[in-house]
Structure 1
Amino acid sequence: MDIDRTTQLYFSPTHTTRKIVEAIARGIGAAESDRIDLTPPSGTWQPAAVIGGLAIIGAPVYGGRLPAEAISRLRRISGNGTPAVIVAVYGNRAYEDALLELRDVAREIGFAPIAAGAFIGEHSYSGAATPIAAGRPDAADLQLAEEFGTAAREKLRRLGPAAEWPLLPVPGTFPYKEWPGLAGIAPLTREASCVRCGVCVAACPTAAITLGETVTTDAERCIKCCACVKSCAPAARLMDNPRLQQVAEMLSANCRERKEPETFL
């Protein structure tokens, strides 16, 4: 099966997943490429259907699982039997059940996964004092992502009728691990440094931040992606909660050894 079009489909608050998906698309080398960005708040985009070509579906890993927001938004997409490359991007700790969960969700909404990858991106909690996979994906990661895309394209060309495609094996355990998360806390705004530019409001994938007399954050809607922190040029947004700081320090101390992407074809 030749590929004349790809559809890039991703949830990527801090842009690391998007970079990997784009690199895979470059490796596939299709003449046309569509893009469905599931990151903005749900009310800003419409459900969509993907028909034909090859889809590249990417999501970040939060605590070894897919973010609930990513799953709910993926379920508004119809795959219609389209073959797919799936990719989970994690912060150099572990991806645990996330890739298996992504494969299962992709199949549930009508895609046919033919290749999978687990790549590394800078952790959401990474900062100057607590670096966690800082700067990743780097040039080496993106090169491997392109090579993976090329390999997935060649595999698809060799495959027979879709009805004969076997279930793609990926690591993970079902039932998936429980992840309680960190409910009720969120990054804060240092008002003295805030220039009221609204970048944090635009960056938030759940519309949890409001710019009024002050910058307020709905902690119940916050998913701790830290897109607001990483996009704030004057560094007015910060993780000042002791629980978040404790997790960041633990990860920075224990996840320093560089992990490399894993691919499954």
Structure 2
Amino acid sequence: MQIKSIQPVYFSPTHTSAKIVTTIAEGMNIIVNKEIDLTYPSTNQKTLPSDTLAIIGVPTYAGRVAPTALERLQKIKGDNTPAIIVVLYGNRDYEDALLELRNTAKQLGFVPIAGGAFIGEHSYSTEEFPTAAGRPDVSDIQIAAEFGKNIIKQLYQYTDIKKLPVLDVKGNFPYKENKPRTPATPITIDELCTQCQYCIEICPVETIELKEEIVSDPEVCIKCCACVKECPNGARVFNTPFSEFLFKNFHDRKEPELFDLTR
């Protein structure tokens, strides 16, 4: 099976999904197309041809694909297009997320040929209570690059994508129930805020605005904490007891889990 190009596709507010997806792509030594970044709202739709290999990466939310990522993936279609599927989770558990992403990709016209669950710094990680801080790290990047090299070698062994076996990944169906979301949002420390409005620019759901101060709507916020992690002045903070809970219960390092058509 001949692949002419690689198409990275990701939803990645804090850049962890993007980092793994692009690393996998770079390890294949094939032309890499401009990334399709679903992090920000867009009306653009695209269908990827069957001679392109898509690499689709999304974060998890409580063991499921992040709802906003799932919604925006609907704009990308495949035409019996091979795909590597990737989920990033914050060192707790990815539960049904990879299975959900596999099934979603199939519904959108892709043929999943490999998958991976990688670890990224948890959105709620703080200096006081770090959870998977700094990940994906050097080891994760090396694993992702080797994964890409191995998968492209495997793909060349097949001649007809329609005859490929179903990719088997971890997860349960019916999926874990999505619990009702609890409205919450980061707050602004006024004395640190310069009102540079960078947080407004990078918010994936466009819920941050400048009134007399920088504010965001807890009913709309997806708690990705991109504004917290990227504020140049440390003026955005998200206070949640879950930060300490994660630190105490999920501090042991977890490693990426990889799946392909041979296992």
- Given the two structures, how large is their TM-score scaled by the length of structure 1? 0.95
Aligned residue for 2:39?
Answer: 39
Cα deviation 1:38-88 (Å, max 9, x = unaligned): 001x2x451122113100000001110011110110011111111000000
Distance in 2 separating the partners of 1:34 and 1:234? 31
CA shift, 1:31, in A, is: 2.3
> What displacement does 1:114 show?
0.3
Is the 8 Å Cα contact of residues 48 and 79 (structure 2) preserved in structure 1?
yes
For the pair 1:68 / 2:63, whether they are aligned, the reply is no
- The alignment partner of 1:210 has SS state of strand
Determine the structure 2 residue equivalent to 1:174.
173
What is the DSSP-based 3-state SS (H/G/I as helix, E as strand, rest coil) of the residue aligned with 2:30?
A: coil
Residue type of the alignment partner of 2:144: A
Q: Distance in 2 between the 1:251 and 1:181 partners?
A: 20
Runs (4+) off by over 2 Å: 31-34
% identical equivalent positions: 47
Q: Residue 2 of structure 2 corresponds to which residue in structure 1?
A: 2
- Residue 221 of structure 1 aligns with which residue? 220
| Counterpart Cα distance in 2 of 1:208 and 1:81 | 36
Q: Distance in 2 between matches of 1:234 and 1:189?
A: 11
8 Å Cα contact 1:120/1:259 also seen in 2: yes
- Say whether residues 1:49 and 2:44 are aligned partners: no
TM-superposition CA deviations, 1:6-62 (whole Å, max 9, x none): 00000000000000001100111212323100001x2x4511221131000000011
Q: Distance in 1 between matches of 2:246 and 2:151?
A: 32
SS at match of 1:230: helix
Q: Residue type matched to 1:184 in 2?
A: P
In structure 2, list runs of 5 or more residues that go unmatched: none
Deviations 1:180-239 (A, max 9, x none): 254211111111211101111111100010123211211111111000100111111001
Partner of 2:251: 256
**1:159 matched to 2:171:** no
| Equivalent residues of 1:92, 1:121 under 8 A apart | yes
* Within-5 A mapping of 1:100-115: 100-115=99-114
Distance across 1 between alignment mates of 2:221 and 2:180: 11
Contact 2:119 2:136 in 1 (8 A): yes
User: What secondary structure, in the 3-state scheme, does the structure 2 residue paired with 1:140 have?
Assistant: helix
Letter aligned with residue 46 of structure 1: N
Deviation at 1:254, TM superposition (A): 1.0
RMSD in angstroms over aligned alpha carbons?
1.1
Letter in 2 for 1:141: D
Q: Deviations over 1:80-110 (max 9, x none)?
A: 1110000001111100000000001101111
Could you say what secondary structure the match of 1:86 adopts? Answer: strand
Secondary structure class of the residue paired with 1:117: strand
Q: Which has the higher helix share?
A: 1
State how 1:68-147 maps to structure 2 within 5 Å.
68-147=67-146
C-alpha displacement of 1:256: 1.0
Partners of 2:220 and 2:156 lie apart in 1 by 43
- How far apart, CA to CA, are the structure 1 residues paired with 2:81 and 2:43? 21
> Aligned equivalents of 2:73 and 2:155: distance in 1?
23
Residues 59 and 87 in structure 2, CA contact (< 8 A), matched pair in contact too: yes
TM-score by length of 2: 0.96
1:12 and 1:59 mapped to 2: Cα distance? 7
Task: State the distance in 2 between where 1:32 and 1:204 align.
Answer: 27
SS of alignment partner, residue 36 of structure 2: strand
Question: Aligned residue for 1:27?
Answer: 27
Q: Is the 8 A contact 1:123 1:133 kept in 2?
A: yes
